[in-house]
Structure 1
């Protein structure tokens, strides 16, 4: 990023959280700016929103955060859906709608999330991909504030954020629901940071648990009523996935007492194996849903693309399935790849999974994961028919039925879909719903849908079936053109100010590379401890996706017992083989203007 580069102008389809005003870089001159390239389906992007909140508070009069929403899924291109997401996730800074990916290209972003830092004079000074950059950003902003205050080029003042009207109604972006003994319903009222008990009609409030961010919940999602024998031993009835706090909590329905049962509160930044670990000491990552399977609680650990297990009696946790690589690969559960698993439903010998970022329905049986419907990270749509041709769009919920079929909350298609494993076909049960995020089949056989963006529970009429002639979509990010044969993959990483690479536990660097289709990569697959890799691309495969996972461990320079930090990013880079193209692919994990 040397010589110095002027930041490209902020041009998009529209703005949110500005009171209708369109902002330019000239309007923000004199402030430090962080541009946060995000898409609202992406769990890592949601993590970054949480990492940025303390920075916005600390540097409120000197820093402006601008969210640049560059969508992955077709549904995310809808301005109304974006406005709902900004409200849902409590985004308290301006957001520009980059629906045509113009700014994404102008700032050379290649991953969600990507952060770009602009100094008070309008120059781009840093770019970084992934999460875990809060400490480094704080140090960088400190440097920029000191420098530009001394130069007279820093101008403090009120920011451009304009708050939207306060929401009304009983529920606000509910997430998941379960039925309690006696027929009452328990709902995670995610945007109100609470768990709500409703009467069987789904509309009458019985009581509310929590209600303020972090006291004790922050955007809770999954709920699980434990077997009675387990309840009698441990003293609580329901496990709650406290998603943004990265914890599990136990809820005693008789007393209303809420107990922390798993999670340190720190987001996952390291490795955990399948062996038992102390539940309260473990770092979790956005637990999104829960199921009782194989005599333990299974956790959809959306933030790191895995399933974990939790033993409420022994108070231990471990990895159940997945490697943390974000992609779609079946096989023995320790080796599989998932992408933001967000819905679970167990029945008999099968655990069904809504794997949202691959738009897939998957299941575990006898220690092996299978894909029933779904084709990969970038293929989605609303297509019924044979399972190998059917498509979903970012499903978040799943419910196994007594007849062996499965209902899917096909969230971004606004539909409830049904998979019939006997016929091996997918059909549409209902459509026109507002981001359905979960499905509850009650003891009496009623089907309730958590219609999240409509802030309600909806009861499906019996026998409703619709035939939808839907569309097939593929994420069309601008691909990287690369020459066939030998190319160099170069992941760029510069430690944050005041940090150095941390070698006390071995190599601080790790790089894992694979490809889809696998034939694209003739050489260079695997894991090494360097951030540069020689790859050999197959000239007979015209295009594909390089899957790159990079991480770098750093520690503080200026403290006797300095903190350790792990920066990690997972790229899926679409590439096109082109004989006239470069033979180098640079990816910025963290880059600074020299």
Structure 2
């Protein structure tokens, strides 16, 4: 491995040869027709191992990045997904089976609930990609997203090298598609009630919207071709829906990174925001809506005279103003975590559900397992005068939730209650809010008047949204492919309290000084782009903040000397890194550039025998 300032990488034939560990996992294999795969079965192929977990938006981005590679090099490349869970729910085998279908994963997947292969490959972050050559040796490792171009170039090199050596085997890979299942909906995401009394549902896996009669079962019509795309009659994994004042429905077209409108009267579909490209650091974050990139908008809500967007892909809230045709950041820094305060300084972690309720906008902040809300500055504690624009006139507060690594199913006082990766929120008539507590398979309720969290219903299956219909609440049971009608009970169901922390092992670190190195090697044929200043960024923080005596904050050097505080024996180091590389061709006036970025949450435990150096690989060769 080399750091960001080292010389260009050697060609494939001179890379250090490290034998790839075997792929093992107690959950077994999916998409192989029941066959148990080994690395020996893959000999002769270029293998890309994708360590992912289905809660992670960055992992879902990488799944989409790999689709073109998967198609273009179908006869020489085999992509292997290794599902490595963060949440307890993600360790359930059926949940992995559902996720593979839900997100259109068309390659073999190893279910590794105990992180056995994750540990063998020394992986530290979701997502991580490891490239194995046709002879079974690791030749590259990349953490985060934005590496598809570099991997494609490496694959081309490997194909040339191993075709010449006679060690490349062409032909079909081991992927065997599962049998399709006939249901009216397939992993629906969000729903709303139309003025007609019918339901409109985002049928995400089938890339459509579906209108259902008031019974919630009878299909009236399907909207969209059902083929993944960005054309005038197509969607790509649509999620959030909201009614606009003019009667149209605005749709979060999630994987198209766009907002669309659907007119229930005429049937017309129109793109109103987004370019179809994913937003990256350094791109414009405000301006004409059709000229600004978005990143995985997951839900939408009409509040404070504009559309608010849960921009899950960059851990922010954005807004779209139909009157001016503009979009812009409303809250969040793009840093992943749970930090309250003025909108511009707040941190989120995959906001995935929104619900307007008077002077509050409720948020399901999924990766922190939190219920949060937006309100005008001064509304909650007398701060500010309530004036100002969207960016500086609002504050973010947390009602329920502790952070990225604490989750469970526990009722009671909000400060100690626990959720598990909620995706939906629904405003209730009494001022309380229902939470679609997705990974707990439950519908929960938070009452601001009492500060209490209770359970309304259990035995749901990955509820992702809910809507009110009279005295009933209709829940989107995503993994049961249906809408389920429940009567709002007078009293909550009581459940036994369960608390969890992520099962990842803590890294033992020595007390005092700790050297942090983020390893980045520019892809072959590229170099760091320093024409306009530093092309790298590093942000470091900790939970609890007291863990770090020195070294927190932002900078441009991928090397940082940290100092751990005395008396704090464990915590989580939050590291966010970004590097931009461009084609290294002096004759090209406009070289192609690529952004590589990743966030790490590294659990650490302080001990005398621990390491004094922490190395995190953003991109490295021969890892």
Could you tell me the TM-score, scaled by structure 2's length?
Answer: 0.92
Alignment correspondent of 2:6: none
Alignment correspondent of 2:324: 314
1:17 is the counterpart of 2:31 = yes
Distance 1:82 1:48 in 2: 17
476-485 vs 172-181, greater mean Cα deviation: 476-485
Secondary structure in structure 2 of the residue aligned to 1:174:
coil
Alignment correspondent of 1:454: 480
Following superposition, the deviation at residue 555 of structure 1 comes to 1.0
| Matching of residues 47-66 of structure 1 within 5 Å | 47-66=61-80
Following superposition, the deviation at residue 560 of structure 1 comes to 4.2
Secondary structure in structure 1 of the residue aligned to 2:117:
helix
Task: Write the deviation string for residues 280-300 of structure 1: whole angstroms up to 9, x where unpaired.
Answer: 111111000001111110000
Gaps of 5+ in 2: 2-14, 377-393
Following superposition, the deviation at residue 195 of structure 1 comes to 0.6
| Matching of residues 128-207 of structure 1 within 5 Å | 128-207=142-221
Following superposition, the deviation at residue 487 of structure 1 comes to 1.4
Following superposition, the deviation at residue 439 of structure 1 comes to 0.8
292-301 vs 500-509, greater mean Cα deviation: 500-509
2:284–2:292 Cα contact (<8 Å) kept: no
1:569 is the counterpart of 2:598 = yes
1:209 is the counterpart of 2:240 = no
Task: Write the deviation string for residues 223-253 of structure 1: whole angstroms up to 9, x where unpaired.
Answer: 011013xx5xxxxx11100001101101122
Distance 2:560 2:62 in 1: 28
Task: Write the deviation string for residues 423-477 of structure 1: whole angstroms up to 9, x where unpaired.
Answer: 11111000000100001013x2321000000000000024273101131110021
Distance 2:426 2:531 in 1: 47
Could you tell me the TM-score, scaled by structure 1's length?
Answer: 0.97
Alignment correspondent of 2:19: 6
Distance 1:77 1:580 in 2: 31
Following superposition, the deviation at residue 3 of structure 1 comes to 4.0
Alignment correspondent of 2:387: none
Secondary structure in structure 2 of the residue aligned to 1:175:
coil
1:225 is the counterpart of 2:246 = no
Following superposition, the deviation at residue 265 of structure 1 comes to 0.9
Distance 2:121 2:488 in 1: 50
1:111 is the counterpart of 2:157 = no
**Residue 293 (structure 2) aligned to one of 275, 283, 292:** 283
Task: Write the deviation string for residues 121-158 of structure 1: whole angstroms up to 9, x where unpaired.
Answer: 11111111001111111001011111111111111111
Distance 2:209 2:462 in 1: 19
Alignment correspondent of 1:41: 55
Task: Write the deviation string for residues 311-342 of structure 1: whole angstroms up to 9, x where unpaired.
Answer: 11211100010011111111111101110000
Alignment correspondent of 1:526: 553
1:345 is the counterpart of 2:358 = no
Secondary structure in structure 1 of the residue aligned to 2:256:
coil
1:239 is the counterpart of 2:250 = yes
Alignment correspondent of 1:253: 264
**Residue 343 (structure 2) aligned to one of 333, 340, 343:** 333
| Matching of residues 382-531 of structure 1 within 5 Å | 382-442=409-469, 444-463=470-489, 465-531=492-558
Secondary structure in structure 2 of the residue aligned to 1:370:
strand
Following superposition, the deviation at residue 504 of structure 1 comes to 2.3
2:159–2:168 Cα contact (<8 Å) kept: yes
1:270 is the counterpart of 2:281 = yes
Secondary structure in structure 1 of the residue aligned to 2:239:
coil
1:262–1:279 Cα contact (<8 Å) kept: yes
Alignment correspondent of 1:585: 614
1:406–1:419 Cα contact (<8 Å) kept: yes
Following superposition, the deviation at residue 537 of structure 1 comes to 0.8
Gaps of 5+ in 1: 232-236
Distance 2:180 2:86 in 1: 28
Following superposition, the deviation at residue 561 of structure 1 comes to 2.3
Alpha-carbon spacing, 1:518–1:538, altered in 2? closer, same or farther (3 Å)? same
Following superposition, the deviation at residue 272 of structure 1 comes to 5.9
Alignment correspondent of 1:234: none
Secondary structure in structure 2 of the residue aligned to 1:57:
helix
2:526–2:584 Cα contact (<8 Å) kept: yes
1:514–1:525 Cα contact (<8 Å) kept: yes
Following superposition, the deviation at residue 273 of structure 1 comes to 7.0
1:272–1:319 Cα contact (<8 Å) kept: no
Following superposition, the deviation at residue 540 of structure 1 comes to 1.1
501-510 vs 552-561, greater mean Cα deviation: 552-561
Alpha-carbon spacing, 1:258–1:51, altered in 2? closer, same or farther (3 Å)? same
Distance 1:348 1:273 in 2: 31
Task: Write the deviation string for residues 378-432 of structure 1: whole angstroms up to 9, x where unpaired.
Answer: 1001111111111000000000112110000000000000001111111100000
Q: CA RMSD in A?
A: 1.2
